[in-house]
Structure 1
Amino acid sequence: MPVNVRLLGIAVFFNLLGRGAFMASSALYFTRFAGVTPGQLGVGLAVAGATGLVSGVPFGHLADRRGQRDVAAVLLILSALAAVFFLVVDGFVQFTAVAVVFTFIERGAYAARQAVLSTLTAGEDATLARAQIRTIGNLGVAIGSGIAGLAIWVDTQEAYMGVIGFNAASYLICGLVFFALPRIAAVPVQPGASKLPVLRDRRYTAATMVNMIMVIHFAMLDIGFPLWIAQHTNAPHWMTAVLILFNTAGCVLFQISATRRIGTLESARRSWRLAGFLFLGTCVLTGLADGASALGACVLLLVAAGLHLYGEIIQSAAGWVISIDLAPAGQNGQYQGLFTTGFAFSQMVAPFVISTLVIENGTIGWVCLGATFALAGIAMTPVLRIADGASSANPCDKEIARS
């Protein structure tokens, strides 16, 4: 494994180690010890999420113009500082204020971090390198969730506060590791050039929107399956933990091997389309678990989780290729900023889509969601054929045009 990939893996591991622990336990802390009701928690997170939508592109642009590594490292360290203030939250107003500041900085840090990753892993083995980093990151999430489980088991205010401090430390470590990476030179703005050309790039904007729809599938695992199992199936409630563990272990074990052949826009297009149909199968089987026996529901859910796992793996790899290969040289920051903004928006609306539009409408809701995924999988092909406004064409684009 190249040194840069190893360092990026270490940085992402520590970042997601703390974040995994924080995400799995923070709701309990805020609603039990910080004076925030469950309803206020949802409102505060929604406001913070909306604020985070506007930070990706400008911070990504700043990374291009001031050096991607340096901007990413500084923003990660600032994220650590902002995360510390969760320890002094007392009530809805303070929680919302801290969440807004943290999310605004953290989303910008993520965009700059993705730009660094795309720059330092460019080349023939780019997809393999990104798969290795994602695998290491998934391992961090898994261990972090275990740390959260210990805090929940101890169930004291001090234990939860320890997790919050641990999360802040993880951002700090990630930022410091980034300073060990090679410095990436700033790209000066050409005279008369648009400062934010990504906002005029029809193809990239369309790809971002298609991705925004597709990545709703992530909410199926931590929201869709738990609610469906509890409210509509005869499967035991512990099946939720089994499915999450199955997905986490599968991503760690198979991400690298399953994505070795996804390295061009053409292979990404095919994989993206396949992922859409895999998610369709996931949704149909999940819906059919309603009314089945306990054993039958468990079998259907396990097969659905298997389809979802493979779809997630190849969709993630295809998304890396699409988001990076469509971005012009020297503008990775702002382009990754837009792509990650689409992802952030999806994660903000996904809980509503899954819990309200899908769960409340039963099996037909799952079928409709699956059909949406299939259409999003198909839609990426015409999106990649949209002229990008440049006179030169990528050889991969020509390959797609002939298909």
Structure 2
Amino acid sequence: MGALSILRDLKPRRGVVGILAVSNLARTVANGFLLSVTVLYFLRTVDIPSQRVGLGLTVSAVLAMLVSIPAGQLSDRLGSRTTSIVFGVFQGIAVCGYTLVGGFTGFLVVVSLSAMADSASAAARGALIADALPPSERVEARAYLQSVINVGLSLGTLLGGAALAVNTAVVFTALLLTSGVLFTVAGLLCLRLPRTEAAARPEDAKGSHVLADLPFLAVAFLNAVLVLGTDALLTVALPIWIADRTQAPVSVYAAIMLLNTVVCVLFQVRMSKGAEDVAGGARAMRRSGVLLAVCCALFAVAAGRPVWVAVLCLLAGALIHVFGEMLHSAGSWALSYELAPAHAHGQYQGLFGLAQRVGAAVTPLLATAVIVGWGWPGWLLFAGVLLAGGLATPAVARWAQRTRTPQHQEPHEDSQTPDAVSA
């Protein structure tokens, strides 16, 4: 029965969610291609020095952060459907432009335009879910789409990795052009969605801005704190830790990444249940902080242990980590939607996306300095920060919910009072 229930969660959807699923699949396969070949293409085919490639990617990441909120504001004004189409098509054109680059200046221009379009598209598509679906369905829809994203990214990375074995400029160029076409198709698929109109802006909301919403900023900050324990921790700190500080074979890392992908695909929808409102989202974030702290402790224990003990600790920590990661995703979706005014989902999604990008950007630096540099005390410090972030979220979410005015909130069939958010 459990297996059948999981399969029902993953069955193809119709309507808005089905269209977005196909669109997201196209986008994430394209992203998988880019992750596999972009850096090598510019290093080997275009012959740009590695330091300049790193500089260009850093500049593009900063610009992507800066456009997140303005792009969300534009989505609120023009409609999330329209902006999702425009940003998606623009990203496709920018990625196709990779193949025309002949030096550093052109490289910097196209990767910056692509990164900004990706950030803008994320804000618009987040708002699109809010505009196209009732509040009670949004978190489950995001969970289903996240499962699709994991499948698409894995497929794209796998196919891109196979292309690396050929290692020719022709293959790299073909993959980049295919990526651009896929991004364009993903944007155009939004034409099949119902038209969305910008929500009416209340009179007392004129001049308001998400950056003036201090309670929401506090929630976004705690979300960024928990991001420290999600993807980048697993992809940067853990492989170095396994290789340098444990007796476990490095190959165990491949098993950990496979475990992470499979569990995310199978259980993300299931783990999102109960996180449809502020109370549920805050509980999910609290539990996420606890689980992420526990996994850090297990990773720390693996150092200096016999091989079988180290492998057991690493696999157990990875399993706990992926459930903490899924709870974080569900909780962050709920809070970003339920605490946003109906007329400003775009800029609120933009801020939440910005917070996540900042968290993901600083994690590699902190992880290498603290965990790799300090050893097991660094893991315990990370555990303490993640635990504090998770435990603080319900109280901050209550504060944010109390500051929402009735005319800014959307009707929710399971709505609860602020006091319902458990501490």
Fold in common (TM above 0.5): yes
Moved more, 5-14 or 252-261: 252-261
Partners of 2:192 and 2:149 in 1: CA distance: 18
Stretches (4+) displaced over 6 A: none
CA contact (8 A) 2:72 2:124 kept: yes
**1:204 Cα deviation after fit:** 1.1
**Residue 221 (1) aligns with residue 241 (2):** no
CA contact (8 A) 2:280 2:421 kept: no
SS in 2 for 1:54: helix
Partners of 2:171 and 2:214 in 1: CA distance: 48
Moved more, 335-344 or 380-389: 380-389
Partners of 2:213 and 2:60 in 1: CA distance: 27
SS in 2 for 1:321: helix
**1:402 Cα deviation after fit:** 7.1
**1:357 Cα deviation after fit:** 2.6
Q: Which residue of 1 aligns with 2:100?
A: 88
Q: Which residue of 2 aligns with 1:29?
A: 41
Q: Which residue of 2 aligns with 1:172?
A: 184
Q: Which residue of 2 aligns with 1:345?
A: 358
Normalised by the size of structure 1, how large is the TM-score?
Answer: 0.94
Residues 320 and 402 of structure 1: CA distance in aligned 2, closer, same or farther (over 3 Å): closer
CA contact (8 A) 2:339 2:404 kept: no
CA contact (8 A) 1:65 1:188 kept: no
CA contact (8 A) 2:394 2:422 kept: no
Name the aligned partner's letter for residue 220 of structure 2: T
Q: Which residue of 1 aligns with 2:383?
A: 370
Q: Which residue of 2 aligns with 1:161?
A: 173
Aligned length: 403
SS in 2 for 1:179: helix
- Summarize deviations over 1:175-223 as a string: whole Å, max 9, x none: 0111111110123556674345212111111111111111122102221
Match of 2:218 among 188, 199, 206: 206
CA contact (8 A) 1:35 1:92 kept: no
Normalised by the size of structure 2, how large is the TM-score?
Answer: 0.90
SS in 2 for 1:4: helix
Partners of 2:300 and 2:290 in 1: CA distance: 15
- Percent identity of equivalent pairs: 27
**Residue 52 (1) aligns with residue 64 (2):** yes
Partners of 1:123 and 1:386 in 2: CA distance: 20
CA contact (8 A) 2:88 2:186 kept: yes
Residues 84 and 397 of structure 1: CA distance in aligned 2, closer, same or farther (over 3 Å): farther
Partners of 1:282 and 1:193 in 2: CA distance: 43
- Summarize deviations over 1:322-362 as a string: whole Å, max 9, x none: 00000011211111111111111222222212222321221
Partners of 2:256 and 2:209 in 1: CA distance: 42
Q: Which residue of 2 aligns with 1:143?
A: 155
Q: Where do 1:1-400 residues align within 5 Å? A: 1-187=13-199, 189=201, 193-216=205-228, 217-387=230-400, 389-392=403-406, 395-400=415-420
Residues 187 and 269 of structure 1: CA distance in aligned 2, closer, same or farther (over 3 Å): closer
CA contact (8 A) 1:62 1:333 kept: yes
CA contact (8 A) 2:76 2:199 kept: yes
CA contact (8 A) 2:302 2:314 kept: yes
Partners of 1:87 and 1:380 in 2: CA distance: 45
**1:31 Cα deviation after fit:** 2.4
SS in 2 for 1:125: helix
Partners of 2:296 and 2:151 in 1: CA distance: 26
CA contact (8 A) 2:96 2:177 kept: yes
- Summarize deviations over 1:228-251 as a string: whole Å, max 9, x none: 122222222222221111111111
